[in-house]
């Protein structure tokens, strides 16, 4: 079963902020990681969102996967699966370096 991916307002703002940060350094880099994020979402969330464990901090029903950009930069994609609706809702796109408990869910 394929899922439809829906993004919260907060996750959209966080992704936009991340891409704006990258564009300050290089348009090519921003485009590269935008495409990598899109591919990760299509691969993991559309096709098999339940393959990832529940988020270590919040537990069920929240799941998370690590979008690793470089050895020093990673982001958690925190989401929830709604099987009955066939929807995955991305709730946050958080820098993995952020302090635990600051996701505001």
Q: What is the pLDDT along the chain (105 residues), one digit of tens a residue?
A: 899 999 999 999 999 999 999 999 899 989 999 999 999 999 999 999 999 989 888 889 999 999 987 777 789 999 999 999 999 999 999 988 765 555 555
The CA-atom distances, in angstroms, between 92 and each of 27, 45, 100 are 24, 14, 13
CATH number of 4-95: 3.30.2310.20
Q: What is the gyration radius of the CA atoms in the chain, in angstroms?
A: 14
- Rounded CA separation 58/68 (Å): 20
């Amino acid at each position: 079963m394929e899922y439809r991916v829906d993004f919260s307002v907060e996750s959209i703002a966080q992704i936009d902020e991340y891409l704006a940060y990258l564009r300050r350094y290089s348009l090519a880099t921003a485009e590269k990681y935008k495409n990598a994020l899109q591919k990760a979402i299509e691969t993991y969330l559309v096709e098999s969102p339940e393959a990832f464990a529940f988020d270590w901090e919040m537990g069920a029903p929240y799941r998370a996967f690590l979008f690793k950009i470089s050895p020093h930069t990673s982001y958690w994609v925190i989401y929830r699966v709604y099987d009955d609706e066939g929807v995955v809702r991305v709730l946050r796109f958080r820098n993995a370096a952020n302090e635990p408990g600051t996701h505001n869910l």
